[in-house]
């Protein structure tokens, strides 16, 4: 789950990470009132959406004139921002963060996330604050520093000092060395205690009066840990999330909406990725990633089926189930029940393999539903692509594509 910048900064403040004075604003009138209370030499008006690149898209405004703040707020509220992370449709701005400006002497980049290779939390830092870290890593990888944290020992002072000296802080501004190390410890506590998956500050600035301030903030959370944190769940902004993804999470389904036209329902993340690949090889595009889990039941399959059918872009459905833990006849019952409940009108191809696969295929064939049953993955993909009318002039078999 992602949260807004103003919410991330609320968490930062709770954990002792310095942030500018700021407040969430939803109306120009409230903007005028807060600007008067803030009484700052510089005012920063920031659009709040779950996407990066807001500044480049015109979503960040700066002024020294307090009287201009309500007008800037009116300009941004209701505006649709299109960034490299929103896609072409963009995101509508429904709230703002208005905060005091800061005199910037130096910008740094700092984040904390899980290293997928080791499974340890790792700090990422760079002197190139304000830039996209992916770009820095691609062009000047030597400027990206990593400091893994042994979860058994937790964050230690030497971890912070190693990063501080790697960034050259003693030469840049020696007075921020100890505050920087303390900040890293506080961010690590936030990360672990709130089950975060990402904490990012870009830029982390050294001000002209020799202080450290988190000028921007981004925090993402592991959905599996949200049940332990009602305060974090309260940050959820349903306007910023895909409604079908919200519905899927309520049914314990792993669902991500994509831009294609073939709805996929698969058990197991690896098989789901392979299914999307083979749809693409057959000449079409998946409309989603949907993993109903290795222990899928009749009920979860029915819930997944209903979610697929609510996507207006879906022109056909491909169900690919391997019965290892789950039994295929249970999957078949779920498909039959859901199809009858919603009134199935789209073409459906079902591939069942594994435990009781033959029994499951028989149930589907005898159900009276217009469901095409297949045993081979490539055959099934070609069938659903042909049924939806999206097909290359000449479909390549997976083996042929690999040698192309």
Between the two ends of the chain, the Cα-to-Cα distance in Å is 39
- Omega within 30 of 0 (cis) for the link into 151: no
- Burial class from Cβ neighbours inside 10 Å (0-12, 13-18, 19+) for residue 401 reads middle
State yes or no: is 200 an active-site residue.
yes
**Catalytic residue chosen out of the listed positions 5, 128, 147, 200:** 200
Contact 198, 220 (CB under 8 A): yes
Distance CA 253, CA 107 (A): 40
What are the residues whose beta carbons fall under 8 Å from the beta carbon of 18, sequence distance 6 or more?
12, 183, 211, 212, 213, 214
- Omega within 30 of 0 (cis) for the link into 220: no
Of 334, 386, 388, 328, nearest to 360 (Cα)? 328
**Catalytic residue chosen out of the listed positions 43, 109, 188, 255:** 109
State yes or no: is 341 an active-site residue.
no
Distance CA 291, CA 261 (A): 17
Catalytic residues: 109, 200
């Amino acid at each position: 789950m992602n949260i807004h910048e103003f919410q991330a900064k609320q968490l930062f403040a709770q954990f002792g990470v310095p942030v500018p004075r700021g407040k969430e604003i939803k109306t120009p009138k409230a903007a005028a009132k807060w600007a008067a209370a803030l009484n700052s030499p510089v005012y920063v008006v920031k659009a709040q959406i779950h996407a990066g690149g807001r500044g480049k898209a015109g979503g960040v405004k700066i002024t020294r004139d307090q009287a201009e703040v309500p007008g800037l707020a009116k300009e941004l509220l209701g505006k649709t921002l299109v960034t490299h992370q929103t896609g072409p449709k963009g995101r509508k701005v429904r709230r703002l963060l208005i905060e005091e400006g800061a005199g910037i002497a130096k910008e740094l980049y700092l984040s904390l996330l899980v290293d997928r290779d080791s499974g340890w939390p790792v700090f990422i830092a760079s002197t190139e604050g304000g830039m996209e870290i992916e770009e820095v890593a691609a062009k000047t990888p030597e400027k990206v520093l990593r400091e893994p944290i042994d979860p058994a020992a937790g964050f230690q002072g030497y971890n912070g000092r190693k990063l501080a000296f790697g960034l050259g802080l003693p030469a840049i501004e020696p007075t921020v060395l100890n505050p920087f190390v303390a900040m890293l410890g506080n961010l690590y506590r936030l990360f672990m205690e709130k089950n975060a998956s990402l904490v990012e500050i870009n830029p982390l600035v050294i001000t002209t009066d020799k202080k450290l301030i988190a000028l921007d903030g981004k925090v993402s959370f592991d959905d599996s840990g949200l049940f332990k944190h009602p305060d974090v769940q309260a940050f959820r902004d349903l306007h910023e999330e895909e409604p079908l993804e919200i519905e899927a999470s309520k049914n314990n389904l792993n669902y991500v909406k994509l831009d294609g036209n073939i709805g996929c329902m698969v058990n197991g993340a690896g098989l789901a990725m392979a299914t999307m690949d083979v749809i693409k090889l057959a000449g079409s595009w998946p409309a989603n990633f949907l993993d109903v889990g290795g222990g899928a039941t009749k009920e979860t399959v029915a819930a997944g089926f209903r979610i697929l059918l609510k996507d207006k872009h879906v022109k056909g459905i491909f169900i690919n189930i391997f019965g290892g833990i789950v039994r295929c006849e249970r999957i078949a019952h779920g498909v039959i029940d859901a199809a009858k409940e919603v009134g199935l009108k789209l073409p459906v191809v079902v591939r069942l393999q594994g435990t009781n696969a033959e029994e499951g295929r028989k149930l589907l064939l005898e159900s009276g539903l217009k469901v095409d049953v297949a045993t081979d993955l490539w055959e099934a993909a070609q069938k659903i692509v042909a049924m939806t009318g999206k097909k290359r002039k000449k479909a390549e078999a997976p083996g042929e594509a690999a040698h192309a």
